[in-house]
Amino acid sequence: MVISGKEVFPPAQLIESDYNRAEELKAFDDTKLGVKGLIDSGILKVPKIFVRPSSADDQKSDSNLTADFKIPVIDLQGDHEEVVNGIKHASEKYGFFQVLNHGVPLSVFDEMTQGVIRFFEQDDEVKKLYFSRDRSKSVWYNSNFDLYESQTAYWRDSLVVFTLRSTQLNPQELPAACRDITVEYEKHVTTLGDTLFELLSEALGMKPDRLKQMNPGEACSIAFNYYPACPEPELALGFPGHTDASFLTLLLQDDIGGLQVLHQDHWVDVHPIPGAFVVNIGDLLQITSNDKLKSVEHRVVAKHVGPRVSVACFLTPRFDVDTEPYGPIKELISVDSAPVYREFSNKEYIDHFFTHGVDGKQRGLESFKL
């Protein structure tokens, strides 16, 4: 296969004895063109590094459940008590909900979506300037952040922007293709995050500012995801099953969809709603809530149509400095509700998460149980 005059890797249909996974991963990575580069080259088959092995996950589907399933949709401008109760129910039973009337203008949704498309569909040489596998950088682009650790590569390219509430990101570090809208979007989603943390605190029976005292949204990682159309979507995944290493995740998805949630041991679709954010509980919130709120496994399927675009905002505490150890909130521990998790440091948590690929890692939750 040739991309921009360079040989990427041999055809996917090579016999097993000629397949060298390590070489093919490196060849793919060295192009710095990602999955989009493969599509631009005109491939008709999914390269072997993306072909996922058959597993029990493939059996976790039920057409009846999928057709009927809808995660709760919550109008944030509704009756306050009903909003709190709705978030409580959704966070305990599903781990996911969608929110409307959240204060973020539809124009911001549209421009953010277009900004992602502009970045990934711009001149390759400009895009390559942001290519990196150094996660300590504030801005980086690559395909598969855990390419060399995961069992199977996934059909997605990403641009990641990392910001701290206490320090202002220099806009000049951002790609020109999405610079202005990224600055505006970050302000909107962190403000919405503050509102949701207050509502979640109330849902847990605490004062509205209790979760915010833990600085759960001090760090904001925004992943701009680009899923090209896949010639053989039954063989690949846009992103494998996982839970999020965050307190809370806010997702903007376009109308193509592809997000699935594991519910009652079946993969079910999260149908896009125009102007809605998809919100899900992360591992850190399940731990600090002492298992009252659920961080639920989810994935993204590959599709024939595309590109699909999404923007995920992961709200977390800072992991680059020492803070008070995390564990179940003391107010949520009682004689009838013993602590499920031990205390741990930010560094221990994040080091554990990045030790293994997403599809091969032991869930962060399990490693911190007592």
Residue 323, domain CATH? 2.60.120.330
End-to-end CA distance of the chain: 51
Give domain status of residue 236, yes or no.
yes
Question: Helix-strand-coil percent breakdown of the chain, rounded to 5?
Answer: 35, 20, 45
Amino acid at 72: P
Distance CA 110, CA 240 (A): 27
Binning pLDDT at 50, 70 and 90, where does residue 12 land? very low
How much is the average pLDDT of 149-164? 94
Q: Would you say 339 and 290 are in contact if contact means Cβ atoms under 8 Å apart?
A: yes
pLDDT in the model for residue 346 = 78
pLDDT in the model for residue 324 = 74
Distance CA 36, CA 186 (A): 26
Distance CA 7, CA 106 (A): 43
How much is the average pLDDT of 171-200? 97
Give domain status of residue 246, yes or no.
yes
Give domain status of residue 289, yes or no.
yes
Give domain status of residue 176, yes or no.
yes
Give domain status of residue 63, yes or no.
no
Give domain status of residue 27, yes or no.
no
Binning pLDDT at 50, 70 and 90, where does residue 58 land? low
Residue 364 has pLDDT above 70, yes or no: no
Residue 234 has pLDDT above 60, yes or no: yes
pLDDT in the model for residue 190 = 95
For residues 167 and 328, the model is more confident at 328
What is the pTM for the complete model shown? 0.90
Using the 8-state DSSP alphabet, how is residue 275 labeled? T
Residue 4 has pLDDT above 90, yes or no: no
Distance CA 367, CA 203 (A): 26
How much is the average pLDDT of 187-216? 96
Helix (H, G, I), strand (E, B) or coil at 62: coil
How many C-beta neighbours within 10 Å does residue 319 have? 17
Give domain status of residue 239, yes or no.
yes
Instruction: Report the range of poorest mean pLDDT among 70-74, 347-351, 352-356.
Output: 352-356
* Residue 201 CB partners (closer than 8 Å, separation 6+): 207, 208, 209, 210, 211, 212
Q: Is the peptide bond before 307 cis (omega within 30 degrees of 0)?
A: yes
| Averaged pLDDT of the chain | 89
pLDDT in the model for residue 351 = 76
pLDDT in the model for residue 168 = 79
115-143 pLDDT, tens digit each: 999 999 999 999 999 999 998 899 999 99
Q: Would you say 150 and 88 are in contact if contact means Cβ atoms under 8 Å apart?
A: no
Using the 8-state DSSP alphabet, how is residue 276 labeled? P
Total domains in the chain come to 1
Residue 350 has pLDDT above 80, yes or no: no
Residue 101 has pLDDT above 60, yes or no: yes
271-328 pLDDT, tens digit each: 999 999 999 999 999 999 999 999 999 999 999 998 999 999 999 988 766 667 889 9
pLDDT in the model for residue 60 = 60
Which domain, by its residues, includes 270? 78-367
Give domain status of residue 6, yes or no.
no
Residue 14 has pLDDT above 50, yes or no: no
% pLDDT > 70, the chain:
87
Residue 9 has pLDDT above 50, yes or no: no
Distance CA 140, CA 160 (A): 5
